Amino acid sequence: MRYVYLATFFLAALTVSVLGFRGSLSTKPPLELKPDMVHQAKYKPQSDSPFFADGRTDRPLPAGVVPYGRTTASPDAAFLAADDELYLGKTASGEWLGGFPKAVKVDARLMARGQERFTIYCAPCHGALGDGNGITKQYGMGATPTYHDDRLRKMAEGEIYNTIANGKGAMLSQADKVTPEDRWAVIAYIRALQRAQNGTAADVPPSHKAELGLK
Ligand code: HEC
């Protein structure tokens, strides 16, 4: 029995000595059993440096690098502008891009890809026709808008790109599911859906007008 008391006592003492003093303050340097990378030889952003002639740790960009967030203030502005179109949906002057980036070829292959991606990632909420009547509506997601109003018909492609990439209002970002290239494919398909729901007699090729009883 004595050993049981003793063992309990030592266990309690061990627990208190390991866990009990966490958070207590001390002026002594901490004991670091495993310092990993706690102490690093590094410069903090925007601090002084006695090493460089201009006294700054921040260095100017070497020619040709792509700065984080992509600004057009780089020597290679044309390259970065093309990058902004493709990855941000913006023109060099920061407006939403109307139409498609030069790097994206709108053809039947892109459309087919867009239809496939749209059906997987957007149709559950936006509906196969883009009218906002996806399956999620039956489960209470009533806020999904239709693409078939003038505001969204006229919206720049770049702004739609931004909605897919970053989300908007009640819609979360789809960036982890739809790659930048696929976003443009989806937008091409949305444009097709919009045209399909908003056609006029003028859109019917002359050779098919008779079939529809049009003159
Ligand atoms: C989980 C449901 C859901 C999914 C998935 C979804 N959306 Fe949305 N989407 C919404 C909702 C809700 C709104 C309304 C957001 C708001 O205005 O608050 C919206 C709004 C939009 C708008 C209009 C934004 C505006 O400017 O008013 C566009 C364009 C759009 N979605 C495109 C897409 C595309 C493309 C996809 C697929 C890549 C997609 N959405 C996937 C729910 C969804």
Domain CATH for 139: 1.10.760.10
Amino acid 67: pLDDT: 61
**Higher local confidence (pLDDT), 133 or 71:** 133
Amino acid 149: pLDDT: 95
Distance CA 40, CA 53 (A): 23
In a domain, 100, yes or no: no
In a domain, 35, yes or no: no
Distance CA 73, CA 81 (A): 10
Question: Which of 119, 125, 133, 181 to probe ligand 1 with, by most ligand atoms within 8 A of CB?
Answer: 125
Q: Which domain holds residue 126?
A: 108-200
In a domain, 7, yes or no: no
Residue 90: strand pairing partners:
96
**Distances from the Cα of 187 to the Cαs of 21, 114, 144, in angstroms?**
59, 7, 17
State the total domains in the chain. Answer: 1
Residue 22 has pLDDT above 70, yes or no: no
**Interval 161-188 mean pLDDT:** 95
Amino acid 132: pLDDT: 95
- Confidence class for position 77, pLDDT limits 50, 70, 90: low
- DSSP character string of 57-84: SSPPPPTT---TT--TTSTTHHHHHHHH
Residue 71 has pLDDT above 60, yes or no: no
Cα of 126 from ligand 1 centre, angstroms: 7
In a domain, 36, yes or no: no
In a domain, 53, yes or no: no
**Interval 143-153 mean pLDDT:** 95
